[in-house]
């Protein structure tokens, strides 16, 4: 296996041979070693390979780089996942450009029955943070694996909240596993691994976090997931790229709406407006669309935070909910005199304090 692993790593380092070409070669020759040992004329005759790529394969001689990579992964207990391995994330095989080789450090099952990507802007608002925390807490009841990019903002909030709620979470990186970008997330990355999650990348340990690596990373986030959820995003950026990639892979894409005046929500609103994402406000709606059933209900009902101090807007909402079994959010908006965005943000805050409970159909009621 060590000999084959050398050829597997080397296959990812041949000039002019990308993921699509590597997959074609493996479909023809089955193993990486057989690719390198194939006659030149056979390689040249393959559709999609041709003379230039065939000669790049036959002229490749930098096998010592692969040997150094093996030394690194053995030292740091990293698992190489080749595209033909059973442990390789099988969802990626449905994409036209799956990574040939992935490097994985962690214990989370990359082929979990339910995988959700939670992504968003690096410059999140308090509303975005609250929505992300609420979403991950709700997802804990659905036995999911949470995937994100370990960036500042929404990504980091999703990872941290997952750890705090015993939800396995995996960070997909745009660089090798010899360092962490951003460096401030080194501790978070360790916590993710120690909590049963993991770190995943297609880049060898010498690769730095260059700008062009991030869109490449984003396709793994999209491809490895069943559903991609955009919490907050501007009109451009990594989250929009990931959502577009997910649509191209026929993945389900969801987005949380925001105020039209908020730049951080402009991308989400645009995805919804152009039917590139389903409008969503919580995990129950996601589960309904995906056909997921709750796998673990809490044995004890959540209790209201003791001594919580409600601000004026929260008090208005609570008063409207008193002596009512349930109230639709539109009615709360109409009767409170508050804007829709203020009501939405207030409901998130009240849910975080366990004062109210969200029900299907955008209905709410007070917790007893």
Identify the domain containing residue 53 by its residue range: 1-63
Q: Is residue 77, in this structure, part of any structural domain at all? A: no
Question: Residue 298's pLDDT is what?
Answer: 43
Return the pLDDT at 303.
52
50 pLDDT exceeds 80? yes
The verdict on residue 235 lying in a domain is: yes
Same domain for 144 and 215? yes
What mean pLDDT do residues 70-83 have? 96
Please identify, among 290, 321, 356, the residue that sits at the C-terminal boundary of a domain.
290
Asked if residue 133 and residue 13 are part of one domain, the reply reads no
Q: How many residues does the chain have?
A: 368
Q: Determine, yes or no, domain membership for 110.
A: no
Residues 201, 252, single domain; the answer is: yes
Angle between helices 340-352 and 126-139 (to 10 degrees): 50
Residue 95 lies in a domain: no
Whether the pTM exceeds 0.85: the reply is: no
Number of continuous H segments (helices) and E segments (strands) in the chain: 16, 12
Instruction: State mean pLDDT over 47-61.
Output: 94
CATH value at residue 360:
1.10.10.10
My answer on whether 236 and 344 are in the same domain is no
Whether 307 shows a pLDDT value over 90: the answer reads: no
Query: Residue 92 falls within a domain, yes or no?
Result: no
For the cut 50, the answer to whether the pLDDT of residue 138 exceeds it is yes
Q: What is the pLDDT of residue 359?
A: 74
Q: What is the pLDDT of residue 301?
A: 45
**One domain for residues 358 and 282:** no
pLDDT at position 302 over 60: no
- Angstrom CA distances, 332 to 324, 359, 365, stand at 12, 14, 11
pLDDT at 44 over 50: yes
Based on the domain organization, do 267 and 322 belong to the same domain? no
| Predicted local distance difference test score (pLDDT) of residue 300 | 40
* Whether residues 318 and 236 fall in one domain: no
Mean pLDDT along residues 55-77: 95
What does the alpha-carbon distance between residue 256 and residue 268 come to, in Å, rounded to a whole number? 6
8 A C-beta contact, residue 285 and residue 255:
no
Q: Quick check: 163 and 191 in contact, CB under 8 A? A: yes
In a domain, 94, yes or no: no
Euclidean distance between CA atoms 28 and 353, whole angstroms? 58
Considering the domain boundaries, does residue 150 fall inside one?
yes
Which of 100-114, 133-147, 223-237, 301-315 comes out lowest in average pLDDT? 301-315
Residue ending a domain, choose from 34, 63, 92: 63
Whether residue 198 sits in one domain with residue 321: no
149 and 250 both lie in a single domain: yes
Task: Tell me the percentage of the chain whose pLDDT exceeds 70.
Answer: 95
Residue 209 lies in a domain: yes
pLDDT at site 1 = 55
> Helix/strand/coil (H, E, C) string of 62-92?
CHHHHHHHHHHHHHCCCEEEECCCCCCCHHH
Per-residue pLDDT, averaged over 320-326, amounts to 83
Residues 6+ apart with CB under 8 A from 85: none
Residue 35 sits at the vertex; the CA angle it makes with 31 and 38, to the nearest 5 degrees, is 125
Q: What is the dihedral of CA 168, 172, 177, 180, to 10 degrees?
A: -90
Instruction: Report the CATH number that the domain containing residue 280 is assigned in CATH.
Output: 3.40.50.450
Residues facing 365 on adjacent strands: 357
Task: Reply yes or no on whether the pLDDT at 88 is more than 50.
Answer: yes
- 266 and 316 share one domain: no
Is it the case that residue 323 has pLDDT exceeding 80? no
The answer to whether residues 163 and 225 belong to one domain is yes
**Mean per-residue pLDDT, 26-48:** 95
Domain boundary among 259, 290, 321: 290
Q: Please give the tally of structural domains in the chain.
A: 3
Do 190 and 223 fall into the same domain? yes
**pLDDT surpassing 80 at residue 325:** no
Q: What is the average pLDDT across 233-255?
A: 94
Q: How far apart are CA 112 and CA 90, in angstroms?
A: 10
> pLDDT confidence of 308, banded at 50, 70, 90?
low
| Range of weakest confidence among 197-211, 328-342, 354-368 | 354-368
162-177 residue pLDDT tens: 999 999 999 999 999 9
SS3 of 116, please?
A: strand
Q: What is the pLDDT of residue 32?
A: 96
């Amino acid at each position: 296996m060590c000999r084959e692993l050398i050829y597997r790593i080397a296959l990812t380092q041949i000039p002019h041979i990308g993921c699509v070409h590597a997959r074609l070669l493996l479909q023809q020759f089955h193993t990486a070693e057989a690719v390198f040992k194939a006659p030149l004329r056979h390689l040249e005759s393959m559709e999609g390979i041709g003379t230039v790529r065939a000669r790049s394969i036959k002229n490749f001689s930098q096998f010592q780089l692969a040997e150094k990579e093996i030394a690194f992964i053995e030292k740091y207990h990293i698992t190489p996942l080749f595209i033909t391995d059973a442990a390789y994330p099988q969802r990626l095989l449905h994409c036209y450009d799956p990574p040939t080789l992935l490097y994985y450090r962690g214990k989370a099952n990359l082929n979990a029955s339910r995988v959700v990507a939670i992504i968003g802007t690096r410059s999140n608002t308090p509303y975005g943070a609250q929505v992300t925390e609420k979403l991950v807490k709700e997802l804990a009841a659905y036995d999911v694996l949470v995937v994100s990019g370990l960036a500042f903002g929404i990504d980091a909030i999703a990872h941290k909240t997952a750890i705090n709620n015993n939800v396995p979470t995996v960070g997909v990186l745009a660089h090798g596993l010899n360092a962490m970008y951003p460096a401030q997330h080194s501790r978070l990355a360790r916590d993710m691994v120690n909590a049963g999650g993991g770190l995943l990348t297609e880049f060898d340990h010498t690769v730095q976090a260059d700008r062009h690596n991030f869109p490449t990373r984003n396709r793994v986030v999209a491809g490895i997931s069943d559903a991609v959820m955009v919490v907050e995003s501007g009109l451009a950026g990594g989250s929009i790229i990931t959502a577009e990639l997910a649509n191209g892979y026929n993945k389900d894409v969801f987005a949380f709406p925001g105020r039209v005046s908020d730049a951080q929500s402009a991308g989400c609103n645009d995805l919804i407006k152009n039917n590139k994402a389903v409008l969503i406000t919580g995990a129950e709606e996601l589960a309904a669309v995906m056909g997921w059933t709750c796998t673990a209900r809490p044995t004890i009902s959540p209790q209201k935070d003791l001594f919580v101090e409600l601000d004026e807007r929260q008090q208005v909402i609570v008063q409207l909910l008193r002596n009512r079994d349930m109230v639709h959010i539109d009615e709360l908006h109409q009767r409170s005199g508050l804007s829709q965005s203020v009501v939405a943000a207030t409901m998130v805050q009240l849910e975080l304090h366990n004062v109210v409970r969200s029900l299907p159909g955008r209905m709410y009621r007070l917790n007893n």
